[in-house]
Copies of this chain bind each other. A is one copy, B any other.
């Protein structure tokens, strides 16, 4: 039997990994990290914990359709890992929140590899704590999306977080203003480049991929 733990590496600073995740990383026979163009954000988060480990970079930016790609990467892991060995696969934030690991783990399971996941701190919780903006207070509804806002949901929600805002930031801010939300923009939360912005103009100027917008309905 081979086993892979999908580990939520949290928002960016290695200190936000859980004790459980940290211990599994340290004990693992092999560490798998997703990379793109030779860079791995997840690998960078855990860099202090994996420098003496056998690390395998997996190129998730390679050509090909998603499904075929995940199957190929799963086969690569199956080749590298010996029977009885345990590997960890590091993912940003939490493995169940907008993570490719959700798709990818199905391919591992198909190959007979046992899979378990370990939750992590999400980017929106990190940002909420940084900006001291509640994700939700008692009785409130919270709406989470990535990129496109559904105004029908927004109309009824008390609190919202939009991930991956770089594509259509202006229309997101317009929708928030129209429906009576105050907002804050947080980029690279917990990282050295972290920034918290409140002004529309400043937010629109920033183009960072690792950014999100949190909104809360204005209280009159």
Contact = CB atoms under 8 A, between A and B. Distances in A.
B23 A19 contact: no
A207 B102 CA distance: 31
Contact of A120 (B105, B121, B141, B155): B121
A117 interface: yes
B141 A144 contact: yes
Interface stretch (A32-40, A57-65, A125-133, A176-184): A125-133
Interface string A143-156: 11111101011011
Contacts of A19: 14-19, 22
Interface stretch (A69-77, A80-88, A89-97, A165-173): A89-97
A136 interface: yes
Interface in A2-21: 8, 10-11, 13-20
Contacts of A103: 137
Nearest to A155: B152
Number of this chain's copies in the assembly equals 2
The binding surface of chain A is classed by DSSP as mixed
Given A141-B145, A141-B150, A96 B18 contact: no
Contact of A136 (B97, B136, B156, B157): B97
Contacts of A121: 8, 18, 94, 119-121
A152 B117 CA distance: 32
A149 to B, nearest CB: 9
Given A94-B129, A136-B145, 10 more contacts: A96-B125, A96-B129, A102-B137, A136-B146, A139-B147, A141-B143, A141-B153, A143-B143, A143-B144, A152-B155
